[in-house]
Amino acid sequence: MSKRNTQQRRHGILSLLNELGEASVELLARRFETSEVTIRKDLTAMENHGLLLRRRGGAIPLPRELVVEESPSEVKRAIGRAAAALIPDHHRIVIDYGRTTAAMIPELECKRGLVVMTNSLHVANALRELENEPTLLMTGGTWDPHFEAFQGRVAEQVLRDYDFDRAFIGADGIDLERGTCTFNEQIGLSRVMADVAREVVVLAESSKVGRRIPNLELPWERVDTLVTDAGLDDSAQQQLEVLGVQVLRAETSGAT
């Protein structure tokens, strides 16, 4: 089946979930005339991308409080600008996969002499488009088509052979008590990125605060800086600063 058909089916699944409130694997397989195995793969991929939540035997839509209301592109660009401002020329950095981390890349245009390692093909391709193209390193490893990134032990071992000034890592959720969390169960690579960097910078929208996703990615003692947006409230910032995390709140272009 083509990628186009897969995308159309997954859009249809989302529409049906929003209409019904929940749907079983059996119902979805009948509705979209495909196997239950295919539907389970769809639901896993869509949950990994933060589009829905799995439930035993089916799925439900993402709760309204977890849906980003503000234009994500504008917020992500603001966070990307603030994160890129931390990077001087000739820095050695590692960038994890993710749409928010990728928003940094256009802001690196004026940086010189960077060495950048990434596990993300999207990040790598964006880096190659820069006029001042940095020295690009790839982790290699096992290709994960759901996240369009390399994962696994080979990638972790490659990372351990290097050291970096900063690691830039995204997050699907911000648990103010535990740390950053993710839908991705393969969290080992992000932890290795933190291990091999002198400073760890997490990029995440303020709308992700309160997402208590089971997969803990980085506890707060392993995070130096959180770059988020102006939507983060003062009490949350204070709570993080007490834990030793520097908080940078990026202003969007529409902010007053």
Question: How confident is the model at residue 48, as a pLDDT?
Answer: 67
Residue 52 three-state SS: strand
The Cα-based distances of 240 to 4, 68, 198, 246 in angstroms read 43, 22, 20, 8
Q: Rounded distance, CA 70 to CA 203, Å?
A: 16
Q: 197, 166 in Cβ contact below 8 A?
A: yes
Which pLDDT tens digit goes with each residue over 77-98? 999 999 999 999 999 999 999 8
Instruction: Give the H or E element holding residue 143.
Output: strand 142-144
Interacting residues of 2 by C-beta distance below 8 A, sequence separation 6+ = none
Burial class of residue 54 in the structure, from the number of CB atoms within 10 Å of its CB (0-12 exposed, 13-18 middle, 19+ buried): middle
Q: Which stretches in the chain have pLDDT values below 50?
A: 1, 65-66, 68-72, 255-256
Which pLDDT tens digit goes with each residue over 146-186? 778 899 999 999 999 999 999 999 999 999 999 999 877 67
Question: How confident is the model at residue 3, as a pLDDT?
Answer: 54
Question: How confident is the model at residue 70, as a pLDDT?
Answer: 40
Question: How confident is the model at residue 71, as a pLDDT?
Answer: 38
Q: Indicate the pTM of the whole model.
A: 0.72
